[in-house]
C-alpha cells in the first residue's frame, strides 16, 4: 500500500465505531476521497482539531485503488479559517460550497475547483462586507465547471446586451429573452436587468475584487442560480446547507 500525500479540504466527518472518524475530503491531486482516522475522537488524539469541516489540511494516507475508504496516517492544518467558524453567516455560506462538492460527482481531481474552493474560503475568512458576492461568485464558477454556465451576455433572440426591465431566463437553455422578445416558456424565471448586469460582472472579475463590488441583495439572483443547479444537477436538490442558511437569514 503506497503512501500518498496531498492537500485537501474537509467536506464532512462522521463517527466510526467508538473512537474513530470517517472523513470526506476534496483533494488537489485526487479529487474526492474518504479516509478513516483511527482513534481520532479522543482529546489526546494526534488528529484532535485537525479534521474539522472546512479545514484546509495536508494529509498522508495509505492508498489502495480497490478500497473505498483509505487509512489516514498523518494530517496537518494549513488553514483553519477561524473567522469563518466564529461567524454564523460566514459558516452557513461556506458549508454550501462543501455540500455542493460532496453531493456531486467530482470523483476525479479538478485543480481549478480545488483552487476556487480554497480561494473563496480564505477570502470569506478575511472579508468584512459584501459576503453575498462570494456566494454568487462561487455558484457561477461551479455551474461553469459542471457545464451549465448561464449565458448572461445578450438576448438569445435580438442580441441586445443591455436589457431594460425584467427578462425571462430559460432554466433549460441557460439564456434569456429581453422584454421585447419575451414569449411564454416553461421552466423560465423572471430576473431584473440589475441582477443580469450584477451576475455578469461577477462572472468576469477576480475574487480579489469582490469585497469592493456593491452587493445586490436580490432574491432573483439566488433563485436563478439555484434553479439552474437543481434543474441540471439532480444531486443539488434539497441541500441541507441551503436550509441552514435560510434559518440564519430569518
Residue 69: give its domain's CATH number.
2.40.50.140
Q: What is the mean pLDDT of the chain?
A: 91
The pLDDT-based confidence of 43 (bands split at 50, 70, 90) is low
Please tell me the number of Cα atoms within 13 Å of 229 on its side-chain side: 27
Q: For position 218, which CATH number holds?
A: 1.20.1440.120
The residue ranking higher by pLDDT, 247 or 186, is: 247
Per the listing, cell 433572440 goes with 157
CA distance 10 to 100: 13
Last residue of a domain, one of 80, 95, 119: 80
Q: Is residue 97 part of a domain?
A: no
Q: How far apart are CA 19 and CA 121, in angstroms?
A: 29
Handedness of CA 176, 181, 184, 189 (dihedral sign): positive
pLDDT band (50, 70, 90) for residue 107 = low
Cα–Cα distance, 229 to 223 (Å, whole number): 10
pTM for the model: 0.92
Q: Looking at the domain assignment, is residue 87 inside a domain? A: no
Whole-number pLDDT of residue 1: 57
Least confident range of 157-161, 171-175, 231-235 = 157-161
Mean pLDDT of 233-241: 91
Q: Which cell is 132 given? A: 453575498
Q: What is the pLDDT of residues 175-220, one digit of tens each?
A: 999 988 877 777 899 999 999 999 999 999 999 999 888 888 778 8
- pLDDT at 114 > cutoff 60: yes
In percent, how much of the chain has pLDDT > 90? 68
Report residue 67: phi and psi, to 5°. Answer: -100, 135
Q: Where are the alpha helices (DSSP H) in 130-218?
A: 131-146, 193-204
- The residue among 105, 122, 99, 114 whose CA lies nearest residue 29 is 114
Q: 124 lies in a domain? A: yes
- Please count the structural domains in the chain: 2
Decide if 88 is inside a domain: no
pLDDT digit string (tens) for 118-148?
Answer: 999 999 999 998 999 999 999 999 999 999 9
Interatomic CA distance for residues 250 and 247, integer angstroms: 5
Beta carbons of 124 and 131 less than 8 angstroms apart: yes
Q: Which of 68, 88, 70 is nearest to 4 (CA)?
A: 70
* Lateral strand order in the sheet of 167-170: 175-177, 167-170, 188-191
Name the residue range of residue 15's domain.
Answer: 3-80
Nearest CA among 58, 76, 77 for reference residue 7: 58
The answer to whether residue 86 is domain-embedded is no
1 vs 17, more confident = 17
Amino acid at each position: 500500500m503506497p503512501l500518498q500525500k496531498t492537500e485537501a479540504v474537509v467536506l464532512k466527518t462522521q463517527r466510526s465505531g467508538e473512537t474513530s472518524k470517517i472523513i470526506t475530503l476534496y483533494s488537489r491531486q485526487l479529487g474526492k476521497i474518504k479516509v478513516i482516522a483511527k482513534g481520532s475522537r479522543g482529546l489526546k488524539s494526534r488528529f484532535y482539531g485537525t479534521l474539522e469541516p472546512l479545514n484546509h489540511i495536508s494529509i498522508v494516507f495509505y492508498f489502495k485503488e480497490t478500497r473505498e475508504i483509505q487509512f489516514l496516517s498523518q494530517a496537518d492544518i494549513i488553514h483553519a479559517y477561524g473567522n469563518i467558524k466564529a461567524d454564523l453567516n460566514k459558516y452557513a455560506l461556506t458549508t454550501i460550497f462543501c455540500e455542493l462538492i460532496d453531493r456531486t460527482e467530482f470523483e476525479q481531481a479538478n485543480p481549478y475547483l480545488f483552487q476556487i474552493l480554497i480561494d473563496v474560503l480564505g477570502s470569506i475568512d478575511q472579508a468584512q462586507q459584501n459576503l453575498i458576492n462570494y456566494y454568487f461568485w462561487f455558484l457561477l464558477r461551479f455551474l461553469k465547471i459542471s457545464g451549465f454556465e448561464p449565458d448572461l451576455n445578450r438576448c438569445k433572440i435580438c442580441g441586445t446586451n443591455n436589457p431594460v426591465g425584467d427578462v425571462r431566463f430559460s432554466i433549460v437553455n441557460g439564456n434569456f429573452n429581453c422584454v421585447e422578445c419575451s414569449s411564454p416558456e416553461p421552466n423560465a424565471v423572471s430576473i431584473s436587468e440589475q441582477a443580469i448586469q450584477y451576475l455578469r460582472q461577477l462572472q468576469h472579475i477576480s475574487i480579489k475584487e469582490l469585497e469592493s463590488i456593491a452587493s445586490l441583495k436580490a432574491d432573483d439572483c439566488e433563485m436563478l442560480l439555484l434553479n439552474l443547479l437543481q434543474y441540471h444537477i439532480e444531486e443539488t436538490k434539497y441541500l441541507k446547507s441551503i436550509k441552514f442558511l435560510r434559518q440564519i437569514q430569518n
